[in-house]
Chain A
Amino acid sequence: MRNLLNFIFRFHVAFLFLLLEVLGFFLLISYNNYHNIRAFSITNEVSGEFYGQVNEATSYLNLRDVNEQLSRENAALREMVRSSYLDTSSLFKPVFDTARVRVFEYLPAEVINGSVNKRNNYLIIDRGSSSGVKREMGVISPNGVAGVVVDVSPNYASVMSLLHGRSQVSTVIEKNGFFGLLKWDGSDPKYATLVDIPAHVDIAEGDTLLTRGASGIFPKNQLVGTIESWEINQSNRFYEIKVNLATDFRRLQHVHVVKNSKKQEIDTLIQNTTEPDV
Chain B
Amino acid sequence: MFRIVAQNIIRFVLLVLLQVLVLNNIQLGGLINPYAYVLVILSLPIETPRWLTLLIGVVLGLSIDVFTRTLGMHMTATIFLAFLRPVVLQYMAPRDGYEYGTTASIRDHGYLWYLTYAGILILLHHLFLFFVEAFEFENFFRTGLKAILSSLVTLVLVVILQMFTVNRKQSQI
Interface residues of A (CB under 8 A from B): 12-13, 16-17, 20-21, 24-29, 31-32, 34-35, 38-39
Stretch at the interface among B20-28, B29-37, B67-75: B67-75
A29 cross-chain contacts in B, Cβ below 8 A: 72
B68 CB to nearest chain A CB (Å) = 11
CB-CB under 8 A for A31 and B135, given A17-B54, A17-B79: no
Query: Of the candidates B51, B61, B70, B135, which one forms a contact with A12 in the assembled complex, judged by CB atoms under 8 Å apart?
Result: B51
Closest to A14 in B: B83
Contact B71 A27 (CB under 8 A): yes
Contact A34 B54 (CB under 8 A): no
Contact A34 B61 (CB under 8 A): no
B99 cross-chain contacts in A, Cβ below 8 A: none
A13 cross-chain contacts in B, Cβ below 8 A: 50-51, 54, 83
CB-CB under 8 A for A27 and B75, given A13-B83, A17-B83, A20-B58: yes
B75 CB to nearest chain A CB (Å) = 4
A24 cross-chain contacts in B, Cβ below 8 A: 58, 61, 72, 75-76, 79
Q: Is B96 an interface residue (CB 8 A)?
A: no
Contact-residue size bin, chain B (C-beta under 8 Å from the other chain): 10 to 19
In the assembled complex, 27 residue pairs joining A and B whose CB atoms fall closer than 8 Å, in A order, are: A12-B51, A13-B51, A13-B54, A13-B83, A16-B51, A17-B54, A17-B79, A17-B83, A20-B57, A24-B58, A24-B61, A24-B72, A24-B75, A24-B79, A25-B72, A25-B76, A26-B72, A27-B65, A27-B71, A27-B75, A28-B72, A28-B73, A28-B76, A31-B72, A35-B135, A38-B135, A39-B135
A141 to B68, CA, bound (A): 48
Contact B70 A32 (CB under 8 A): yes
Contact B72 A32 (CB under 8 A): yes
A165 CB to nearest chain B CB (Å) = 29
Taking CB atoms and an 8 Å cut-off, the chain B residues in 43-94 that contact chain A are: 50-51, 54, 57-58, 61, 65, 70-73, 75-76, 79-80, 83
* Interface membership of chain B positions 122-143, coded 1 if the CB is closer than 8 angstroms to chain A and 0 otherwise: 0000000000100110000000
A164 CB to nearest chain B CB (Å) = 29
Contact A31 B54 (CB under 8 A): no
A251 to B101, CA, bound (A): 72
B67 CB to nearest chain A CB (Å) = 14
A28 to B50, CA, bound (A): 24
CB-CB under 8 A for A38 and B136, given A21-B79, A26-B72: yes
Contact B135 A34 (CB under 8 A): yes
A29 CB to nearest chain B CB (Å) = 7
A20 cross-chain contacts in B, Cβ below 8 A: 54, 57-58, 79
Q: A24-B75, A25-B76, A32-B70 are in contact. List 16 more A-B contacts (CB 8 A).
A: A17-B79, A20-B57, A24-B58, A26-B72, A27-B65, A27-B72, A27-B75, A28-B71, A28-B73, A29-B72, A31-B71, A31-B72, A32-B72, A34-B135, A35-B135, A39-B135
